[in-house]
Amino acid sequence: MPDQALVATVAGAVDVMDGLMQPRPLTIAHILERAERLYAHKHVTTAGTERHTYVDVVQHARRLATVLDSLDVPVGARVATFASNNRRHLELYLAVPATKRVLHTINIRLSSEHLEYIVNHAEDDVVFVDRRLLPRIRPILDRMPRVRHWVVLPDGSPTDIRPDPRILDYDELLSGADPFAGSFEDTFVLADENLASGLCYTSGTTGRPKGVLYSHRSTVLHCLGTLAAGLIGLRESDVVMPIVPFFHANAWGLPYGAMMAGASLVLPGHSAEPAHLLQLMQTERVTVAGAVPTVWSSLVPQLREYDLSATRFLLGGGSAVPPTLSETYRAALGVPITHSWGMTEVSPVGAIGGTRTQHEQATPEERVAVRAAQGQPLPLVNVRIVDVDTGRELPRDGHAVGELQVSGPWVASGYFRVGADESYTDDGWLRTGDLATIDADGYLRLVDRIKDLIKSGGEWISSVELETAIASHPDVAEVAVIARPDPRWTERPVAYVVLREGSGGTADELLQHITPMVAKWWLPDDIVFLAALPKTGTGKLSKSSLRESMRMG
Amino acid sequence: MPDQALVATVAGAVDVMDGLMQPRPLTIAHILERAERLYAHKHVTTAGTERHTYVDVVQHARRLATVLDSLDVPVGARVATFASNNRRHLELYLAVPATKRVLHTINIRLSSEHLEYIVNHAEDDVVFVDRRLLPRIRPILDRMPRVRHWVVLPDGSPTDIRPDPRILDYDELLSGADPFAGSFEDTFVLADENLASGLCYTSGTTGRPKGVLYSHRSTVLHCLGTLAAGLIGLRESDVVMPIVPFFHANAWGLPYGAMMAGASLVLPGHSAEPAHLLQLMQTERVTVAGAVPTVWSSLVPQLREYDLSATRFLLGGGSAVPPTLSETYRAALGVPITHSWGMTEVSPVGAIGGTRTQHEQATPEERVAVRAAQGQPLPLVNVRIVDVDTGRELPRDGHAVGELQVSGPWVASGYFRVGADESYTDDGWLRTGDLATIDADGYLRLVDRIKDLIKSGGEWISSVELETAIASHPDVAEVAVIARPDPRWTERPVAYVVLREGSGGTADELLQHITPMVAKWWLPDDIVFLAALPKTGTGKLSKSSLRESMRMG
């Protein structure tokens, strides 16, 4: 049987056969060519003003491929983007990995120090920058000497581009290039599916940012996960709007997912103004949109002024979606915000919330509680909870609380130029740093970040549960609970609250409101009112900044 | 960077990095354990009389795993089934591949000669047989000497089991076994995803049956394809009824797809009586069912006597779904029969028909024509048409007709103990033997089997088009057109027609009916009325039998 590979992977097994299936790799090149062949007529709209078909976008990507060759960008080199969600950025999403370079998406809200660190650490060869963001780059250009080319993406802004041999223009490069006429997919062999395709640094609220290096295989499998019906379920009839930035953990897989499914894409461009986003959702009849809770929250005041009747699915992630926020959307649009649990290390989507058939008979209140959970893992993803001290796996009974760990073919095994560090277990699972329960139906419920738990008198207080209780008061716009060192109790909770404009809640009122909801000894020692809470570069609440300012007094 | 594998697969490339993603294999063990963890409460119903939860089914599969060990069935050995769609068969679908044996599903309608040939060719170690099918096996038992054990699956039938040391009882074996308590998934490493998981022989209308050897990887990827939203889109809220037999090309992926999605399963058991199938669909509120056109056709007379309002999606395949049949269902249930193009060699689903957003503005007649096409390839599947003579790829213009060829990670690369034969191109694509067009949207339309084309006066006549025209006459129940050798024209078409009960169409009426639809020289030379058309073991029309009887006079 010379046609069958013989492998012996099982101890004590006889010779075992491989299946006789075609050795076709899973590649982003397939996503590109599938969109070109099946969905040429579908649209990519940027900011409501620019409209291209998929065949246009792919033709640009084919030109970009030869541009990268002519710039002598080596295969495997990192090609970075510093850009908003726009059509040219999508072309980079396609052409860079389809030509076996690595797409490094950089957070445009990073500090100059972090930006410089990340570009140098990634050893980016070329960086593509939105024209309006060039002023962020120019002052530190000389501190990133390995970058050979800075390519400006025209974005309608009049930002001055002073002549500099290092700075090139995207549209000029493309108009001077022939499109690659062959099949990208045919240039890949099976082993290539493991090639690095993308690089994204974690936001690094503690310590140095660390790079997650995705492969073609992981990206395509994650993409199939976003297509699975009944979960996110991207489909041809969708109009998908990633409000979540392209640099925020691959925009949760929405760009590749939409293209593989054949859905049209609506890209908001650089503006995150509520009126702009809502207008786009109305005009383009967006069916699926994804954004962090703070963005969803920002749209609430104007939600009923727009016709959002095309909406099918709203995705929330990055941090927990407050049930009150989700319910506000459900009341206004008939569509709740479905929580998607993920991490940069998980490509990012690991689990999808929402109700299932077993909740059909549940009361409305019970269904709200189900929707507040992080949900069930996607196909191919496994989750477990382990005792933080002993590392022993805990039961899936909905009660035991342990560190959430995750494994699967789109979960990282280490970090770029670092490898597997303390974030990974000996058996190769990712430690999430989240405390969670898992119930008998496989539903995850995050209890808290391990480092955000408050240890008071030898017992634990969940900052998240306190926040949820406080956020249920109608006057509260945002809330964060952190630990204050306490000589007697070790730590005690303190709440930082932003009130809604025009409302006048007091600390006493809030304490009264939550008293029936939590144990008496959980009541915060202090409620501090702020005009705004500190955020990280991806718009997440930064508890480390709050702790810092508390420490500074 | 010792943590990064360096590969050099691209000619002239610098060292290229693999992504840093977990090396998790794609395995059927994951499907089993996912169903156990997330969907323990969902149901498997057999024939309306037996109802089990997924956790029961998986517990049985865990016992079956240790039974296979205690029977000393080697890893890699073929474990065959000769059974209807029932719960025990599903347990074999799970336990056999999850323990790294190969599940060989045998067509229960095979002749004794084919059955014997296939069992011996596959070198089956154990065969599991429905009790009522034992009389089919017993007379030829001695001609399959390599089979060590015949295990009877109780099916409610009183078939006599005479004492024979080679014959064991499934339920007895399981009740005496401890369930395997560990994780099947954890026994797999990355390389194992290519292990053979299943074996299915092609129906072999010409020549010897050939075995298609599936891998865990191909099976899981195909399974994800059946979950993709907007196509088949299996989901947790579905109740899936594979009427298509488990031995017919993996029941089109419905059993594994349903379990991965968390849908409940309804298995019809041994009866294919229309009233039985319709009653099951009504009682169990089936949302998705799959069957060959002849079965769908058999349900038509009683279709309106049952409440089938839960129906969401009806899948037809195996042979072309006549548009009139699909439209009958659309009129009765609001749900057409969606054509799924596939082959045993394609796991089997390669393409899915039905309309897409671009057809929203089409006329009802145009939409009927779209639904008659074989549709667009699933994600990860590529199709092309090539000139039969030159092997040159033909344009995707909806006009050029060529041999359909297919590639993808769930497409075979050869046959068991045969390897890649003339069915595969030099570049590793599968030749389907079908003539097709592909349009600019990637829609396949099958024109005919290459061998069924009729060469008349130097021009080609499509037997399929003629059959479609004749089938549109209300009196026609079934039709087949084949070529009769002709001294002047080389070949001429002859139609074999089965009339609906009680109708009295004549040859002249049928010829008059189709005259406006086809070229004059396409009109059949003869229309022969038969009481029934010959079928293959999988219920497909057997043109080779018709040709045989024509030849015999």
Report how far residue A517's alpha carbon sits from residue A520's, in angstroms, rounded to the nearest whole number: 9
How remote is the C-alpha of B528 from its chain's centroid?
30
- Confidence (pLDDT) at A269: 97
DSSP letter at A251 equals: G
Which of A379-388, A446-455, A503-512 is predicted least confidently? Answer: A446-455
Q: How confident is the model at residue A540 (pLDDT cuts 50, 70, 90)?
A: confident
- Confidence (pLDDT) at B540: 74
pLDDT at A201 over 80: yes
pLDDT tens track for B434-473 = 999 999 999 999 988 888 888 888 778 888 889 988 988 9
Query: Which residues from chain A sit within 8 angstroms of residue B225, using beta carbons?
Result: 224
Structural domain contains residue A500 = yes
Q: Which of B99, B202, B468, B538 is catalytic?
A: B202
Residue in B with minimal Cα distance to A224: B224
Residue in B with minimal Cα distance to A412: B21
Can you tell me the mean pLDDT for A453-476?
86
- Confidence (pLDDT) at A5: 33
Q: State whether B194 and A18 contact (CB < 8 Å).
A: yes
Q: How confident is the model at residue A14 (pLDDT cuts 50, 70, 90)?
A: low
pLDDT tens track for B122-142 = 999 999 999 999 999 999 999
Cα distance from B515 to chain A (closest Cα, Å)? 35
Structural domain contains residue B292 = no
Helix axes A254-261, A28-38, angle to 10 degrees: 40
**Lookup: tokens for A141:** 């250009």
- Confidence (pLDDT) at B205: 54
Residue in B10, B19, B407 nearest the CB of A24: B407
Query: Which residues from chain A sit within 8 angstroms of residue B362, using beta carbons?
Result: none
DSSP H stretches of helix in B303-440:
323-333, 364-372
Q: State whether A13 and B411 contact (CB < 8 Å).
A: no
Report how far residue A82's alpha carbon sits from residue A150's, in angstroms, rounded to the nearest whole number: 10
Place of tokens 């395509």: A220
Q: Which of B345, B403, B467, B478 is catalytic?
A: B345
Q: State whether B379 and A416 contact (CB < 8 Å).
A: no
pLDDT tens track for B63-104 = 999 999 999 999 999 999 999 999 999 999 999 999 999 999
Can you tell me the mean pLDDT for B186-192?
96
Q: State whether A24 and B411 contact (CB < 8 Å).
A: yes
Structural domain contains residue B476 = yes
B462: domain range?
454-552
Q: How far from each other are the two terminal CA atoms of chain A, in whole angstroms?
A: 76
User: For chain B, what is the mean pLDDT?
Assistant: 92
pLDDT at A344 over 90: yes
Q: State whether B13 and A74 contact (CB < 8 Å).
A: yes
- Confidence (pLDDT) at B426: 94
Residue in A25, A194, A220 nearest the CB of B18: A194
Q: State whether B19 and A195 contact (CB < 8 Å).
A: yes
- Per-position b or e across A363-387, b if 16+ CB within 10 A of its CB: eeeebbebbbbbbbbbbbbbbbbbe
**Residue A537: which CATH number?**
3.30.300.30
Q: How far from each other are the two terminal CA atoms of chain B, in whole angstroms?
A: 76
Residue in A4, A195, A407 nearest the CB of B24: A407
Q: State whether A441 and B41 contact (CB < 8 Å).
A: yes
Residue in A with minimal Cα distance to B239: A357
N residues, chain A: 553
Place of tokens 């002849």: B294
Which of A1-15, A296-310, B316-330 is predicted least confidently? Answer: A1-15
Cβ proximity of A35 and A259 under 8 Å: yes
Helix axes A507-514, A463-471, angle to 10 degrees: 110
Residue in B with minimal Cα distance to A77: B16
Q: State whether B18 and A215 contact (CB < 8 Å).
A: yes
pLDDT at A238 over 60: yes
Q: State whether A18 and B195 contact (CB < 8 Å).
A: yes
Residue in B21, B261, B407 nearest the CB of A22: B407
pLDDT at A386 over 80: yes
Residue in B with minimal Cα distance to A193: B18
Is the bond into B139 cis (omega within 30 degrees of 0)?
no
Sign of CA dihedral A106, A110, A111, A113: negative
- Confidence (pLDDT) at A204: 57
Q: State whether A416 and B20 contact (CB < 8 Å).
A: yes
- Confidence (pLDDT) at B347: 98
pTM of the entire structure? Answer: 0.90
Can you tell me the mean pLDDT for A2-8?
33
- Per-position b or e across B509-533, b if 16+ CB within 10 A of its CB: ebeebbeeebeeebbbeebeeeeeb
Structural domain contains residue B546 = yes
- Confidence (pLDDT) at A538: 66
Q: State whether B414 and A3 contact (CB < 8 Å).
A: yes
Can you tell me the mean pLDDT for A280-301?
96
Residue in A with minimal Cα distance to B100: A16
Can you tell me the mean pLDDT for A231-238?
98
Q: State whether A13 and B75 contact (CB < 8 Å).
A: yes
Structural domain contains residue A391 = no
Cβ proximity of A122 and A193 under 8 Å: no
Q: Is position A455 annotated as part of the catalytic site?
A: yes
Q: Is position B345 annotated as part of the catalytic site?
A: yes
Query: Which residues from chain B sit within 8 angstroms of residue A187, using beta carbons?
Result: 10
How many inter-chain contacts (A to B, CB under 8 Å) are there? 290
Number of domains in chain B: 1
Percent of chain B at pLDDT exceeding 90: 78
Can you tell me the mean pLDDT for B492-498?
94
Can you tell me the mean pLDDT for A126-130?
98
Cα distance from B142 to chain A (closest Cα, Å)? 26
DSSP H stretches of helix in A71-202:
87-98, 112-122, 134-137, 170-175
Residue B51: closest CA among B87, B11, B78: B87
Report how far residue B135's alpha carbon sits from residue B126's, in angstroms, rounded to the nearest whole number: 17
Q: How confident is the model at residue B208 (pLDDT cuts 50, 70, 90)?
A: confident
Burial of A425 (0-12, 13-18, 19+ CB in 10 A): middle
Can you tell me the mean pLDDT for A356-380?
94
CB neighbours of residue A49 within 10 Å: 8
- Confidence (pLDDT) at B538: 66
Q: How confident is the model at residue A9 (pLDDT cuts 50, 70, 90)?
A: very low
Q: Which of A451, A455, A535, A540 is catalytic?
A: A455
Structural domain contains residue B475 = yes
Cα distance from B113 to chain A (closest Cα, Å)? 24
3-state secondary structure B160-214: CCCCCCCEEEHHHHHHCCCCCCCCCHHHCCHHHHHEEEEEEECCCCCCCCCEEEE
Report how far residue A516's alpha carbon sits from residue A509's, in angstroms, rounded to the nearest whole number: 13
Query: Which residues from chain B sit within 8 angstroms of residue A396, using beta carbons?
Result: 37
pLDDT at A537 over 80: no
pLDDT at B4 over 50: no
How remote is the C-alpha of A259 from its chain's centroid?
17
Query: Which residues from chain A sit within 8 angstroms of residue B74, using beta carbons?
Result: 13-14
Cα distance from B182 to chain A (closest Cα, Å)? 13
pLDDT at B8 over 80: no
Q: Is position B45 annotated as part of the catalytic site?
A: no
Structural domain contains residue B86 = no
- 3-state DSSP assignment of residue A250: helix
- Residues contacting residue A117 through CB under 8 Å, at least 6 positions apart: A208, A209
Residue A78: closest CA among A102, A100, A106: A102
Cα distance from B514 to chain A (closest Cα, Å)? 34
Q: State whether B419 and A260 contact (CB < 8 Å).
A: no
Q: How confident is the model at residue A161 (pLDDT cuts 50, 70, 90)?
A: confident
How high is the ipTM of this complex? 0.90
Report how far residue A432's alpha carbon sits from residue A383's, in angstroms, rounded to the nearest whole number: 10
**Lookup: tokens for B245:** 């037999």
Q: State whether A224 and B410 contact (CB < 8 Å).
A: no
Query: Which residues from chain B sit within 8 angstroms of residue A440, using beta carbons?
Result: 40
Cβ proximity of B485 and B491 under 8 Å: yes
Interface test with A, best of B20, B72, B232 (most A CBs within 10 A): B20
Q: Which of B53, B460, B465, B540 is catalytic?
A: B460
Structural domain contains residue B250 = no
Q: How confident is the model at residue A503 (pLDDT cuts 50, 70, 90)?
A: confident
- Confidence (pLDDT) at B7: 33
pLDDT tens track for B39-58 = 999 999 999 889 999 999 99
Q: How confident is the model at residue A15 (pLDDT cuts 50, 70, 90)?
A: low
Can you tell me the mean pLDDT for A297-303?
95
Q: Please report, as a single letter, which amino acid is at residue B467.
A: E
CB neighbours of residue B1 within 10 Å: 11
Report how far residue A39's alpha carbon sits from residue A27's, in angstroms, rounded to the nearest whole number: 18
Cα distance from B504 to chain A (closest Cα, Å)? 45
pLDDT at A203 over 80: no
Place of tokens 């899915």: B352
Residue in A with minimal Cα distance to B25: A409
Q: What element of type H or E holds B92?
A: helix B87-98
Q: Which of A45, A46, A105, A202 is catalytic?
A: A202
- Per-position b or e across A306-329, b if 16+ CB within 10 A of its CB: bebeebbbbbbbbbbbbbbbbbbb
